[in-house]
Amino acid sequence: MRLSTKSRYGVRALFDIAYHSVGLPTQIKDISRRQQISPRYLEQIFQKLKKARILGSKRGPNGGYYLLREPKDISLGDIVRATEGPFELVFCVSDNPVRQCPRKEECVASDMWKDVSIQIGNFFDSISISDLCERAKDLGVEREYDHPYTYHI
């Protein structure tokens, strides 16, 4: 199984919002700069994350993107499902009747493929954006607060 850049960049972008935004909307240009991801590509990814009700947006000069849930309540599994679809290593174990294999009932490997897909999903569900923020702190990743309402004395 190989994740596309949509999932990988989606994880990086949501981490960026959680780590750098201080709860305020974050402009896409700032996420793009910090994560070195094209703003146009981020917009495409963010549309999927908005549709999945993970991300919200606000227009205007103080607008930007923000998390609709707490970072601890957003798992990597949520992001991957929003950008890639369900965890299915092979199409034949799909719950979608159009994609099911005609040999599914007699296939000796079908249950194994389904179990592996479930375990991968469970692993991704066990890691939250909050966990990534803690990892970043442990690694000494410097936080950037660039909001107009953040004051330093």
How many of the other CB atoms lie within 10 Å of CB of 28? 18
CATH label, 5-139, candidates 3.90.1150.10, 2.40.30.20, 1.20.1250.20, 1.10.10.10: 1.10.10.10
- pTM of the shown model: 0.85
121-147 pLDDT tens trace: 999 999 999 999 999 999 999 888 655
Whether 60 has a pLDDT exceeding 90, the answer reads: no
pLDDT single digits (tens) 29-58: 999 999 999 999 999 999 999 999 999 999
Higher pLDDT, 135 or 21: 135
Residue 65: predicted pLDDT: 95
Structural domain spans, the chain? 5-139
Res. 106 pLDDT band, cuts 50 70 90 = confident
